[in-house]
Chain A
Amino acid sequence: MSAARGRKSERLLNLLIMLLVQRHFVAKDRIRDILYPGMSNDAFEKMFERDKEELRSLGVPIEVGSLDVYFDDEPGYRVRPDQLSLPDIELAPDEAAVIGLATRVWQHARLAEATTEAVRKLAAFGVDIDESALDIAEPRLSADEPSFDVFWEATQERTPVRFEYRRSGATRASTRNLQPWGVVRYSGRWYVVGLDTDRGEERVFRLSRVQGEAHKAGSPGSYDVPPGTDVRATAMRLAPPPPTGETAVLVRRDAGRGLRRDAISVEPDVRGPDDRTAWDRVRVARGGSDVADELLGYGADVYVESPDEVRRLVVDRLRAVVGAVGDPA
């Protein structure tokens, strides 16, 4: 350990203790006399500012106040014990066990470390955290998108973000300015929801389509999330999940395993469109254009019965392929 670091650690800790144990605001001059003796004005101001910032970033709430109600030009500082420390949390053993398990959920270095740090604080509080007591498997929560950290922080601090975004199917990325309201995971992918300030409308963006680095563009707390905003509901409204529905198809015997795996029902040996093989009727709980993509992939092994909308979509798309090369007729 370097001596310089040791001295700085001492100063930070002594500053914290000094502000914590006094009942009233501590005058800046007194802080200077005791902890920063013999320094020039400039050097003191700079170092004191930085020390306060570092303590704040550790979660130490330093209050600034006036020492004297009549002369408010003399600032004072304090840390209130009830603001500094964790409120009482009494955890039952099984609750402590699930909290221990939470440390293994994040597959994201920084958040895994933050979770572990939170658990250490709770453990320091006298709660025994046994990570192996529960017999459940913990899910893994990954966040591989490079822009995830920026949107996570910006959402918490309410800081606007500027980024390049390429929409699905678009050739080029365009610059977006967003006030993020929330970050939502859906089907294993992360999305950010917020107010697109160039368009003046709420928008949702898939983080994996953000190009390059996203940048904070503004100061923390520079906007408010509209009261009552439900970020998941907003994301779902703006980026609707695949339409639900039911599609009935005829599938050749021994084909269409992907459809049979999660079918609602399979009715064997029904009349099919040809006699080359036997056919089964398979019903799946999907609809719309996504299911059309899936069904087209099976080629002549699958015949769409209903609904008409899906059937027409499949037929039209096949016809477009055949027609594009020119029918002899």
Chain B
Amino acid sequence: MSAPQQAGAKDQVARLLTLVPFLHARGKVRLDDAATALGVPADQVLADLKVLLMCGLPGGYPDDLIDVDLDALEEPEGDGVIRVTNADYLARPLRLTPTEATAIIVALRALRSSAGEDTRAVVDRALAKLEAAAAHGSGAPRIDPGEIPGGPDLVRLEAELRRAADARRQLRLRYYVPSRDELSERVVDPRGIVTAHGYTYLDAWCHGAEAPRLFRLDRIEAAEVLDSEIVTDPEPPRDLADEGFFPRSPDSTLATIELDPAARWVVEYYPVEAVRPKRGGRLEVDLVIANERWLQRLLLRLAPHARVVAPPEYAASYVAAARDALGLYGPEPI
């Protein structure tokens, strides 16, 4: 017997152990409705039910077997209602597996941290019941989803952006651009929400830039869903893991920077074309830069752990900027 068949048999048993209690609790359920509720195609549910016919008490008498009224499901005049009899011992759902218990409890804890006070109380009640039911075996106490960054406001914003993307409606964003230290206003065609490096982004076509752009949610000051529909072709959001975080745009340029060990993290966060190890744990990297101002802010943040190797004019302007900032503190700063 091949491996896929084995996995298939196990999955089939798992489905049946969910299906029978479901039918038992609901009474009259039509095949189509059961299929929808359990997320399984109807013909698969039917195939699963046929396995049940061959199962039952170990006596070997016909009365010992579980009975399924197949006529109701397969005959043209059948009413499509699933009737399973003689299976009372399978009437109750299985305990949650440790993974299931942990997954749902951790999800509820995440929900709790983003809920308002009223809902929080509801979540607490639900959590208490689930935690009691999953008392043994769950590793939930050792998995902690923490506070959702940004709290309820950001969660609400994300839901609104998702709805706009699903409805293909344009958005007007007020967005803070840190590299230019300015608030910008723009109309975008939203595509979806993506996450990378622990941040959540809106992927959208920006009509200001006439290019796709990523907007970090915690930098969106305001988002207004407009009545107008999107005008670009709908596209799914980018998979940042696949594509790399910063697809290189045609107008970007390269700068060569030397990074001390303290600044090595830059290669994880910014688009680099090449990395060359140097002595003392230093790196020489070719960095893709959008504009000189962006590079300058980055270098100042890293000061003095990054140096420009090329082009030389960037090196000169960086040192000048540092001298300018130092000048604020007077001729003999503390």
Contact = CB atoms under 8 A, between A and B. Distances in A.
A17 B146 contact: no
Question: Which 8 residue pairs spanning A and B have beta carbons closest together?
Answer: A188-B198, A156-B139, A137-B159, A320-B304, A85-B92, A126-B25, A182-B142, A8-B9
A317 B299 CA distance: 11
B281 to A, nearest CB: 5
A173 interface: no
Given A125-B92, A156-B102, A318 B303 contact: yes
Interface string B148-174: 110010011011100000000000000
Contact of B10 (A54, A84, A257): A54
Given A9-B16, A155-B139, 7 more contacts: A9-B9, A58-B97, A111-B107, A124-B25, A139-B155, A140-B193, A299-B322
A87 to B, nearest CB: 5
Contacts of A107: 195
Interface in B55-92: 55-58, 60, 89-90, 92
Nearest to A101: B111
Contact of A105 (B107, B129, B261, B277): B107
Contact of B262 (A169, A231, A232): A169
A300 B327 contact: yes
A297 B277 contact: no
B198 A17 contact: no
Nearest to B12: A9
Given A116-B39, A255-B181, A321-B304, A185 B126 contact: no
Interface stretch (A69-77, A197-205, A308-316): A308-316
Contacts, number: 351
Most chain B beta-carbon neighbours within 10 Å: one of A13, A110, A319: A13
B5 A13 contact: no
A167 B302 CA distance: 18
Nearest to A232: B144
A59 interface: yes
B123 A315 contact: no
A111 B5 contact: no
B125 A273 contact: no
25 contacts: A8-B6, A17-B90, A34-B58, A54-B6, A58-B10, A91-B126, A103-B107, A114-B102, A115-B107, A120-B18, A124-B19, A125-B25, A137-B155, A137-B160, A156-B138, A156-B139, A182-B143, A185-B145, A208-B197, A232-B146, A297-B297, A299-B296, A299-B321, A299-B324, A321-B319
A62 to B, nearest CB: 13
Contacts of B21: 121, 124-125
Given A98-B108, A105-B111, A138-B114, A17 B221 contact: no
Interface stretch (B46-54, B224-232, B284-292): B46-54
Contact of A115 (B104, B152, B156): B104
Given A59-B96, A296-B303, A8 B139 contact: no
B183 to A, nearest CB: 6
Contacts of A112: 103
A91 B122 CA distance: 11
Contacts of B144: 182-185, 231-232
B303 A142 contact: no
Contact of B328 (A171, A300, A322): A300
Interface string B186-208: 00000001011111100000000
Contacts of B47: 1, 6
A117 B19 CA distance: 12
A141 interface: yes
Contacts of B16: 9, 13
A10 B54 CA distance: 6
Nearest to B96: A118
A12 interface: yes
A214 interface: no
A174 to B, nearest CB: 14
A321 B142 contact: no
B181 A121 contact: no
Nearest to B283: A171
Interface string B20-64: 011011100000000001110000000100111011111010000
A20 B87 CA distance: 12
Contact of B324 (A10, A50, A87, A300): A300
Contacts of B102: 114, 152, 156
Contact of B300 (A96, A124, A297): A297
A99 interface: yes
Contacts of B303: 296, 317-318, 320-321
B95 interface: yes
A14 interface: yes
Nearest to A61: B95
Nearest to B282: A171
A311 B51 contact: no
A58 B155 CA distance: 34
A115 B178 contact: no
Given A118-B96, A124-B21, A126-B26, A17 B300 contact: no
Contact of B322 (A138, A184, A321): A321
Contacts of A245: none
B333 A99 contact: no
Given A20-B89, A171-B261, A121 B18 contact: yes
A137 B217 CA distance: 15
A318 B326 contact: yes
A121 B100 contact: yes
Interface in A201-231: 208, 225, 231
